[in-house]
Amino acid sequence: MFAHGFRWGTFLRPYRRGLGALAALSLVEIVLRVLAPFALAIVIDSALGTSPLSGWLTRSLDALGLATGRHDLLVIFAVVGLLLQLLHQLVVMFHGQLSVTIGQGMIRDVRERLFAHMQALTLKHHAATPTGEVAQRLEGDTRCIDQLLLRGVFPVAFSALTLLIMFCILVRIDVTLGLLSLSIIPPLYVWLRFYARRMASPADHARRTDSRLSSRLHEIFVSIRLVKSHAREDHEQQRFSRVAGDAAHAWIHVGRQGAVFSIVNGVLTVAGSTLILIIGGVAVLDGRMSIGTLMLVLTYLGYVYGPMQAIANTSGGMQQALASARRIREAFTVVPETLDAPSAIAASGIRGTVAFEDVSFAYVPGMPVLDHVTFTARPGDMIALVGPSGAGKTTLASLLVRFYDATAGTIAIDGVPIEQYRLGSLRQRIAIVLQEAVMMSGTIRDNLRYGCLHASESEMIAAARAANADEFIAQLPLGYDTVLGEAGSGLSGGQRQRLSIARAFLKDAPILILDEPTAALDTISEQQVVDAVRRLWAGRTTFVIAHRLSTVREATRIVVMDKGRITAEGKHDELRRTNDLYRRLASQLTDTPT
C-alpha cells in the first residue's frame, strides 16, 4: 500500500478540475496580454500620429456611435488599454488565488500521506533517523509538488505558449524583426542548460546543510538536560555554529551563482532589445514602419524575454524541487512496520495467556540479545524479570508489543502467534508503564485519555483515583484542565508516574508491562506509586522489569535472565537458596519503604 502504491499522479487526481480551471485562466491571461499593447500602438499611431485607423476599427467605432476625431481616439483607446490591463490584473489575481489553493492542498495531501508513512516506520528506522531529517522531509521537501507543478511545469508550458503566440504576431508585423527577436533564444537556451547543470549540485548541497542544521537543533534541545548538566553549552554552541556556518556558506554560494546568472540573462535581453531598437528605428526613420508598431514590437519583446527568463529562473528551483521529490520517493520506499496480513484478526477478545516459545532475537545479525527463551504467563500471573543490565529484559518486553519481531521462535497470545493479530489491535490490549513516564504537551485530561480516547469523564476520574492521582490533580487550580509543558514538565516524577498508571487503568488492557520506577522517587510518592501499581496488575498478565525487593517477593514467578537466556525461574525464597546470580541481584534491589 505504501512503497509500491506511491505515485505522484495520485496527488493530482483530486485537483483535476482546479488544474483545468487554472489552464483556462492562463489562456485568458495570455490573450489579454497579447491584446493590451495594441491599444497603446493605436494611440501612438492614430491619435498622436497621423496614420489612419484600420477599416474594421473605424466601422466598429461608427457602429457604436463613437466619434473618431484624434482627441476622441486618444481617450477611447487609452480607456480600452486601461480596461484590458484591469481585466488582465483581475485574471492574474484569480489565477494566483487558485494556484495557491491548489498548491497548498496538494502539499497538505503529500504531508498527510508522508506523515502516515513515517509514523508507520519501525522504531529501528526511527532510532537511526535524526528527528530533524524527518521534520525536514515533512516540512520542506513536501513543497516540491507545488514547486514542480505550479511554479514549474505550468508556468513553463504557458511561457512557451506565450512565446509562440507573440512570435507569430511579431512575424506578421515584420518578418525580419520577428526572426531577429528570436536570435536571442539560442544563446539564452544554451546559457540556461549550462546554469541548470551548474546549480544542481550546490542547491542540493545547500538543502542538505539545512537538513543537518535542523537535525542538530532537534538533537540539542531533546538532550538539553544533558547539555546543561555537563555545562556543555559552549561546546554545543561551537558545534551548532559550525553547521549554521556551513548552511550559510552553501546558500551564499547558491545566491552568488544565481546573481551571475541573472546578470548574463539581463545582458542578453538588453542586447536583444537594443538590436531590435536600432533595426526597427532605422525602419521607422525610413518610413517603412510606424512608431506605434515599433512600440508594439518592443513591448512584445519584453514579453518574449519575460517568459524566457521565467523558464530560466524556474530551472534552479526545479532542480531543488526535483531533489526534494527524489527524497520523498525515497522515504516512501522504506518499508513500514509490519503490515497486517489480510487474514489478520482482532486482538480485542484476548484474555492474556502469553507464551514465548524458543524465542531468539538480535538487533544486529550474529549478536543474539535473546537466546532460545521459553516461558508462559497466564492471566493473574505477575512475572518479575530480573537480571543484570543488558540481560535482555527490555528487549523481551519490546518483542511482545512487536516493536521488533523475533528472529526465531514464536510468541503467542491465547495460543495465536502475535503476527496473526492486527498490530494496532494487539497494542491496544497491552498497557506499558515506563520508568520515565512519557507525557505529551496538552492538558492532564488529554494525557490520560491518550490510553482510551473515548473514555467518559467518570471513567477517567475513576482511573485517576485508582492510580492515586486524583488527589493531587484536584489540588491543582485547573484540575484536569491543567496544561502540561512539553514532556510533562510542571509535575514531579511521582506525579507523572501516577498519571501514566492512570492512563494504563483507562486502557484496561489484559496484558501489562511495567518498567518499575527505581528509587528516584521520594518516599511518599513512591508508596503511592507502589499501591497504584499493585491495584493495576491485579487480574492481568503482568511483566515487571523489577527493581524492588518487595515486587520480586510478590511475584507469582521470577524469571532470572542473563546474557539473553533464562537461567532460572521460581519464587523469591526458593531462588535465593538455589541461584547464585539471583542472590547477588536480590542483594542489590532496593526495598519499598514502609
Binding site for ligand ADP (CB under 6 A): 127, 363, 369, 387, 389-395
Amino acid at 181: S
Q: By C-beta, is 495 or 542 nearer to ligand ADP?
A: 542
Q: By C-beta, is 221 or 363 nearer to ligand ADP?
A: 363
Q: By C-beta, is 150 or 391 nearer to ligand ADP?
A: 391
DSSP string, 329-373: HHHHHSPPS-PPPTT-B--TT----EEEEEEEEEEETTEEEEEEE
Instruction: Please report the sign of the dihedral spanned by the C-alpha atoms of residue 565, residue 571, residue 576, residue 579.
Output: negative
Shortest reach from residue 417's CB to ligand ADP, in Å: 22
Shortest reach from residue 434's CB to ligand ADP, in Å: 12
Shortest reach from residue 390's CB to ligand ADP, in Å: 4
Nearest 5 degrees, angle CA 307-CA 312-CA 317?
115
Q: For the packed helices 291-333 and 154-173, what is the interaxial angle rounded to 10 degrees? A: 160
Neighbours of 110 (CB within 10 A): 22
Asked whether 368 and 564 are in contact (CB, 8 A), the reply is yes
Q: By C-beta, is 127 or 231 nearer to ligand ADP?
A: 127
Q: By C-beta, is 122 or 592 nearer to ligand ADP?
A: 122
Asked whether 268 and 309 are in contact (CB, 8 A), the reply is no
Strand order, beta sheet including 382-386:
430-433, 511-515, 541-545, 382-386, 557-562, 565-570
C-alpha distances (whole Å) from 464 to each of 28, 46, 505, 509, 527 are: 64, 88, 8, 16, 16
Q: By C-beta, is 404 or 480 nearer to ligand ADP?
A: 404
Secondary structure string (H, E, C) spanning 55-80: HHHHHHHHHCCCCCCHHHHHHHHHHH
Shortest reach from residue 398's CB to ligand ADP, in Å: 7
Three-state secondary-structure class, residue 105: helix
Shortest reach from residue 518's CB to ligand ADP, in Å: 13
Task: Name the grid cell of 558.
Answer: 521470577
Shortest reach from residue 405's CB to ligand ADP, in Å: 14
Q: By C-beta, is 320 or 395 nearer to ligand ADP?
A: 395
Shortest reach from residue 503's CB to ligand ADP, in Å: 22
Asked whether 412 and 360 are in contact (CB, 8 A), the reply is no
Q: By C-beta, is 49 or 409 nearer to ligand ADP?
A: 409
Shortest reach from residue 515's CB to ligand ADP, in Å: 8
